[in-house]
């Protein structure tokens, strides 16, 4: 199947309470009411959520009981969520099969992730799930930001640094979604991302930038250096403002997703192919190396014991004679009576109990 036909997978990631689940619900509603309707295929990966405003196609809660996991493994809430996700990940091949079966008829696959961001972004399961999805479908990260909470420059920056780390970890197309614009428009954020100096001014006006001796505070110099790092990062991403409450901005979001699909095909896919080819080449080289080592070992043995080596030769004529005499190959029929040296399958129960005399 050509990737042009494949659905795009949107993975919603964001800090706790940023509005991931509401965003997924609104995206679902938006796609249902578009013309023609394009209902997405939705996966909920949050085992701890009690109420969802949308109907997921696959729900982690059907597979693992998070409360039971906490009890059984004696874990706290976050350990419980992480373990539940780990258990679910062991079955993820089945999930992918289900998604792939539906791939012809859907345009979008949407994934809602657990509340605590690090459970998904800094766990082996999160990485396995992301890589598995991204190697089979065009995939994009929707990084949900709680805009009203990001008006403080320091909070904005730490949120963006987190986004930056996810971008460099996954290397997937990335859309920063400034959510809750009904409460706080996101124009300030766009301005900070576009103009580094405006952000620095905001930083300076939000806190004291010098200590009692007039030297820049540690925090201030750190933030200034960090914002320089971020300046480079901003060039690699798309950003949109949405309100998951009102539905505002969702058409812009879908446009950004379409552009991300192209980016996936242009940048991620060739990189994936390159990494795969490299892995194949390394494996091939390892195989050749070990074969060469084995042949070298054999050569050493032969020189150290030439008499034995002389006997240990393959004589094609002998083999042919045997075949001529014996006719057919010696096929073992395992259903016949046992004979000395017969292969015994220890994983199978014995057909009958041994008959030797037992001590009384």
Ligand X SMILES: Nc1nc2c(ncn2[C@@H]2O[C@H](COP(=O)(O)OP(=O)(O)OP(=O)(O)O)[C@@H](O)[C@H]2O)c(=O)[nH]1
Binding interface with ligand X (CB under 6 A): 14, 16-22, 46, 115, 179-180, 182-183, 243-245
Shortest distance, CB of residue 17 to ligand X, whole angstroms? 5
Closest to 24 (Cα-Cα) out of 109, 139, 84, 118: 109
Query: Residue 76: which residues within 8 A CB-CB, separation 6 or more?
Result: 70
Using CB under 5 A, pick the residue from 13, 18, 21, 162 that binds Mg ion.
Answer: 21
DSSP structure string for 295-316:
HHHHHHHHHH-HHHHHHS---H
Q: Write the DSSP symbol of residue 164.
A: H
Q: Select the binding partner of residue 244 from ligand X, Mg ion, none (C-beta < 5 to 8 A, by kind).
A: ligand X
Closer residue to ligand X in complex, CB, 180/238: 180
CA–chain centroid gap for 185, Å, is 32
In whole angstroms, give the CA distance from residue 26 to residue 20: 10
* 28 touches Mg ion by CB under 5 A: no
Distance CA 32, CA 151 (A): 33
Instruction: Count the Cβ atoms, other than its own, within 10 Å of residue 249.
Output: 22
Q: Which does 22 bind (CB under 5 to 8 A by kind): ligand X, Mg ion, none?
A: ligand X
Residue 115 CB, nearest approach to ligand X (Å) = 3
Q: What is the closest distance, in whole angstroms, from the C-beta atom of residue 183 to ligand X in the complex?
A: 5
Q: Which is nearer to Mg ion, 21 or 125 (CB)?
A: 21
Rounded-to-integer distance, Cα 325 and Cα 270, Å: 58
Residue 83 or 200: which CB sits closer to ligand X?
83
- Residue facing Mg ion at closest CB distance: 21
Closer to ligand X at the Cβ: 18 or 28?
18
Which part of the chain contacts Mg ion (CB under 5 A), choosing from 13-21, 196-204, 205-213, 238-246? 13-21
Q: CA Rg, the chain, in Å?
A: 31
Residue 80 contact partner, candidates ligand X, Mg ion, none, CB within 5 to 8 A by sort of partner: none
In the complex with ligand X, the residue whose CB is nearer, 27 or 257, is 27
Euclidean distance between CA atoms 355 and 82, whole angstroms: 54
Residues near Mg ion (CB under 5 A) are 20-21
């Amino acid at each position: 199947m050509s990737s042009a036909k494949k659905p795009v997978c949107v993975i919603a990631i964001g800090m706790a309470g940023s509005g991931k689940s509401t965003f997924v619900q609104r995206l679902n509603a938006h796609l249902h009411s578009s013309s023609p309707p394009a209902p997405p295929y939705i996966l909920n990966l949050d085992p701890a959520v009690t109420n969802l405003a949308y109907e997921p196609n696959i729900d982690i809660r059907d597979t693992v009981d998070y409360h039971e996991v906490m009890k059984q493994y004696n874990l706290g809430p976050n350990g419980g969520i992480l373990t539940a996700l780990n258990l679910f990940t062991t079955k993820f091949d089945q999930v992918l099969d289900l998604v792939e079966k539906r791939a012809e008829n859907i345009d979008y696959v949407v994934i809602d992730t657990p509340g605590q961001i690090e459970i998904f972004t800094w766990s082996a399961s999160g990485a396995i799930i992301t890589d598995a999805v991204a190697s089979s479908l065009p995939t994009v990260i929707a990084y949900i930001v709680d805009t009203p909470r990001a008006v403080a420059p320091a909070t904005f920056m730490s949120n963006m640094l987190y986004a930056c780390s996810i971008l460099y970890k996954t290397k997937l197309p990335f859309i920063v979604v400034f959510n809750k614009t009904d409460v706080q428009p996101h124009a300030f954020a766009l301005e900070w991302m576009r103009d580094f100096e405006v952000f620095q001014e905001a930083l300076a006006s939000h806190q004291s930038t010098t200590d009692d001796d007039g030297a820049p505070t540690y925090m201030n110099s750190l933030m200034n250096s960090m914002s320089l790092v971020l300046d480079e990062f901003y060039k690699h991403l798309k950003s949109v403002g949405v309100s998951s409450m009102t539905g505002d901005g969702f058409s812009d979001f879908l446009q950004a997703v379409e552009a991300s699909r192209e980016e996936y095909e242009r940048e991620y896919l060739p990189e994936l192919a390159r990494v795969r080819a490299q892995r194949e080449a390394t494996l091939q080289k390892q195989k050749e190396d070990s074969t060469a080592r084995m042949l070298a070992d054999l050569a050493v043995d032969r020189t150290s014991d030439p008499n034995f080596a002389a006997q240990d030769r393959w004589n094609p004529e002998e083999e042919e004679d045997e075949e001529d005499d014996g006719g057919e190959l010696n096929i073992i029929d395992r259903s016949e009576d046992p004979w000395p040296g017969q292969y015994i399958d220890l994983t199978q129960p014995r057909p009958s109990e041994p008959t030797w005399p037992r001590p009384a």
